[in-house]
Structure 1
């Protein structure tokens, strides 16, 4: 038999006083308090469902094509391979849809500051929603969608915006950086507004499995999206493409583990070469390009006991056979 719960005398006196004020016995008053508490819990749970984050406002069907009338001239990153920080590509798609949602009826885009502020306000709910998808569909480590977005710390969000979305460098808006700029998806108008390029407009219009089709088991980009980004890299970002080709060739001929692949990268890009990447930079660049190529459907990872191996996909084989560096 459980021992009786002993309440502090002050609490008992308070319960008696409140019960008398409501014209109830102490037992009736305590039951009423418990009932109200349970009702409050149910209301909170219902509110949580109602306020559950979603991506509905970023779906194709919710956005007006008429607002895509204006475009800007963009520039891609051509001075080297992309930073190892850019290891996912879903943020590019979501960034494009958020920008689309900010366009005026006439198609005029936001300022850089307005675009960053909107993304800042969304990244927490985006991560929460994508985490729910990852958990519901048991997406494996390395394929988890929420990992594309930062945690709630201000420093992490700022890094994400600088690396993936847009960062204004100095007083000249044309010197802005960020992956959306680097891939040539957005540009800055003469009036300082963020606008899609023609490529960015086309990328935004393509259906996405996560945003539009709710296909939460497969890749984060559709085949059409992968082809568009691959075409952009091959034609406009030659140094990035050469790095990708170097890694793909290596995996294809047997440098298919992290260690052997790093050795291959070291021979072409390491200390003493023209690129002269340091020993600390090379693993970072390897991880970044592998993440990008996985998002583009060129590479798969397999885990054998406690080690990882990479393999090229049929799409990559077609590219390797058709493309001559």
Structure 2
């Protein structure tokens, strides 16, 4: 895995270096002010943000045990270390190590990798829906003095409507997945037989994934866990911004306002490369803070770097400790998960 990624990372680094050199005269950045911003941080907010992020891994473990319930009964605490190790692999090696958690949990619970990848896929769907619900609901309550207020409120309303539509569609698949799959195959098959079969398989796979949830009560608990977890993640972003008590543009942000920052940060992390991805994520969040809130570039960059530490890098020490306790090699797990991803694809 390292051999494949190194040329790409070096190429991206070279391009960034060239761009910085070419536009160095147009970049007005006070490094002294940047360092002072870091010294003026209120670390109580940082600790609160890290605590919220670490707490989400307990919720993730609890949710995974529910989705795993029909296959194997395990306690949430027994999977907490696996989540820390898996996300540590992602923080170090990038998104190609995203399947580390299914791989580790399969080994830990002595189950095959296929159902764990199915649970991972279902988990991603719950994450997407919950994040969209928290994001869109909060956007409806943006302060009226925010730039482009009406546009963001409309986006929030549209996102909320789309989330509700997806939820209704998911319920329909759970109730009548076979009929919907056959309908999709018949309609899309007229355009392309392969397309029709692929869409039908995806619908049936999603139905089977939803069918793995033991009961309606378990489904409700899973939804609540997902929403609370993403609210905690948003809270971690808010606490990190409030750590910059001497920068009013950041220190006085509301929960609704921080949604824009969270969206930019998550967008910047989607195609994360090892190490290089850290800087692209910082750049994305810094640019958004400057554009949305009018924060100085030095404070925005310092906040972007701190967000990366709080939401991603802070788990690395804990993940390394768990990897020693559970005798797991993070490098080998990341490589095995990449192979699993290629196989599943």
Query: How does the TM-score come out when normalised to structure 1?
Result: 0.30
**Higher share in strand:** 1
Name which structure has the greater RCO, CA cutoff 8 Å, separation 6+.
Answer: 2
Query: In terms of Rg, which structure is larger?
Result: 1
**Higher share in helix:** 2
